[in-house]
Amino acid sequence: MAVTSVIQLDGVSKTFGRGKRRVEALKSVNLEIAPGQVYGFLGPNGAGKTTTIRILLNLVRATAGGIRVMGADPSRDPSVLRKVGAQVESPSFYGYLSGRANLQVLARTSGLNDKARIDQLLEQVGLAARAEQRVSGYSLGMRQRLGLAAALLTNPQLLIFDEPTNGLDPAGIQEMRVFIRNLVDTEGKTVFLSSHLLNEVEQLCDRVAIIHRGALIREGPVTELLGEQSRVRIEAEPVEAAQAALSERWLVTVEEGALWVQAQRDSIPEVVRCLTAGSIQVYHVGEEHLTLEDYFLSVTQGETVE
Ligand X SMILES: Nc1ncnc2c1ncn2[C@@H]1O[C@H](COP(=O)(O)OP(=O)(O)OP(=O)(O)O)[C@@H](O)[C@H]1O
| Residue ranges binding ligand X (CB under 6 A) | 16-17, 23, 25, 43, 45-51, 196
Q: What's the CA gap between 158 and 80, in Å, rounded?
A: 11
128: exposed, middle or buried (Cβ count in 10 Å: 0-12, 13-18, 19+): middle
Between residues 20 and 284, which has the closer beta carbon with respect to ligand X? 20
Cα within 13 Å of Cα(131), Cβ side: 18
Distance between CA atoms of 219 and 9, rounded to whole angstroms?
13
Angle between helices 140-152 and 170-185 (to 10 degrees): 10
Instruction: State the nearest-atom distance from the C-beta of 204 to Mg ion, in Å.
Output: 17
d(CA 208, CA 194): 10
Report yes or no: 40 and 204 within 8 Å, Cβ to Cβ. yes
Closer to Mg ion at the Cβ: 54 or 130?
Answer: 54
Cis peptide before 238 (omega within 30 of 0): yes
Residues 305, 50, 124, 92, CA torsion sign: positive
Cα–Cα distance measured from residue 34 to residue 56, given in angstroms and rounded to the nearest whole number = 15
| Least Å from the CB of residue 219 to ligand X | 16
Contact criterion met (CB below 8 Å) for 88 and 50: yes
| φ, ψ (nearest 5 deg) of residue 243 | -60, -45
Min dist. Cβ of residue 190 to ligand X (A)? 20
Residue 149 to residue 171: CA distance in whole angstroms? 18
CB of 52 to ligand X, least distance (A): 7
Residue number of the CB closest to Mg ion reads 50
Between 287 and 293, name the residue whose CB sits nearer to ligand X. Answer: 293
**For Mg ion, the closer CB: 23 or 128:** 23
Q: Is 50 in the site for Mg ion (CB under 5 A)?
A: yes
Task: Name the one range near Mg ion by CB under 5 A: 48-56, 165-173, 214-222, 293-301.
Answer: 48-56
Nearer Cβ to ligand X (22/284): 22
CB 20 → ligand X: shortest distance, Å? 12
47 touches, from Mg ion, ligand X, none (C-beta below 5 to 8 Å by class): ligand X
Q: Choose the binding region for Mg ion from 29-37, 46-54, 142-150, 284-292 (rule: CB under 5 A).
A: 46-54
How many residues at the interface with Mg ion, by CB under 5 A? 2
Does residue 230 interact with Mg ion by CB under 5 A? no
Q: For the CB of residue 54, give the shortest distance to Mg ion in the complex, in Å.
A: 9
Q: Are 153 and 110 in contact (CB under 8 A)?
A: yes
Cβ at position 137, least distance to ligand X in Å: 26
264 binds, among ligand X, Mg ion, none (CB under 5 to 8 A by kind): none
Nearer to Mg ion, 49 or 189 (CB): 49
Would you say 51 or 300 has its CB closer to ligand X? 51
- Which stretches of the chain bind Mg ion, using CB under 5 A? 49-50
